[in-house]
């Protein structure tokens, strides 16, 4: 045996409308993670009709095209097949599945925010996803390249923040 899992772990990124935060997180995750080890998708408890245009613009700036992405409905069934659910602002509205590992990331809603603020949210989400992928050893290849990946993210427009600024949430 080569030590690899027989099936990929599934990560669900969930937010209220699946029109911003969760979409960014799933896109970064699938960019950084080895698909043999783990894949991710996004969903929301009240899916919007489309992604926020400022999110699509901010992601395009770092080479990620979300123009064809569509919000999905989060269901308990969808969560049952996951090894991890990361929530971002859906709070009590998110379904809970007993025994499922869950994390909550305090990222504000990008709806109606200026592009500069959405860029900062994008950068925070990107770094949090890079840390998750690295610590769970889902990285592409055989190394654990958080410093390399973090450097790659910074070259693509990400920056590390020293102090967290409060983020307005809906």
CB 77 within 8 A of CB 170: no
pLDDT of residue 98: 80
Helical pair 21-32 and 53-61, crossing angle rounded to 10 deg? 30
Stated pTM of the model? 0.79
pLDDT at 5: 44
Q: Of the residues 15, 43, 69, 88, which is catalytic?
A: 15
| The one catalytic residue among 31, 90, 118, 132 | 90
As a whole number, mean pLDDT of residues 29-47 equals 95
Does residue 63 have an active-site annotation?
Answer: no
Does an H or E element contain 26, and which? helix 21-32
| Catalytic status, residue 160 | no
Catalytic residue among 14, 40, 66, 94: 94
Share of the chain above pLDDT 90, in %: 65
With 50 as the cut, is the pLDDT of residue 51 above it?
Answer: yes
Tell me how many degrees the CA angle 24-144-100 measures, rounded to the nearest 5.
55
Instruction: Dump pLDDT digits (tens) for 113-148.
Output: 999 999 999 999 999 999 999 999 999 875 544 555
**Residue-wise burial string across 126-163, b where 16 or more C-beta atoms lie within 10 A, e elsewhere:** bbbbbebbbeeebbeeeeebbeebbeebeeeebeeeee
Distances (CA, A) of 16 to 47, 63, 89, 108: 7, 25, 6, 11
Q: Which residue has the tokens 């840390």?
A: 131
- Tokens 């990008």 found at: 110
* Tens digit of each residue's pLDDT (9 = 90 or more) over 73-126: 998 888 888 999 999 988 778 777 788 899 999 999 999 999 999 999 999 999
Residue 72 among the catalytic residues:
no
Domains along the chain with CATH numbers? 9-155 (3.40.50.2300)
How does DSSP assign 73-87, residue by residue?
B--HHHHHT-SEEEE
Kindly list the strands in the beta sheet with 9-15, ordered across the sheet, starting from the edge strand earlier in the chain: 38-44, 9-15, 84-87, 102-104
Q: 29: closest CA among 21, 16, 41?
A: 41
């Amino acid at each position: 045996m080569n030590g690899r899992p027989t099936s990929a772990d599934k990560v669900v990124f969930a937010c209220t409308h699946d029109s911003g935060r969760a979409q960014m997180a799933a896109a970064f995750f699938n960019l950084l993670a080895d698909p043999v080890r783990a894949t991710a998708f996004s969903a929301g408890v009240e899916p919007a009709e489309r992604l926020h245009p400022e999110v699509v613009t901010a992601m395009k700036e770092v080479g990620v095209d979300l123009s064809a992405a569509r919000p999905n409905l989060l269901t308990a069934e969808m969560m049952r097949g996951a090894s991890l659910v990361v929530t971002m602002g859906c709070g009590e509205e998110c379904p809970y599945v007993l025994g499922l590992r869950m994390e909550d990331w305090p990222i504000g809603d990008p709806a109606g925010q200026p592009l500069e603020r959405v860029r900062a949210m994008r950068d925070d989400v990107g770094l949090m996803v890079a840390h998750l992928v690295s610590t769970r050893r889902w990285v592409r290849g055989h190394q654990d390249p958080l410093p390399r990946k973090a450097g790659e993210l910074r070259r693509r427009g990400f920056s590390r923040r020293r102090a967290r600024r409060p983020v307005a949430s809906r």
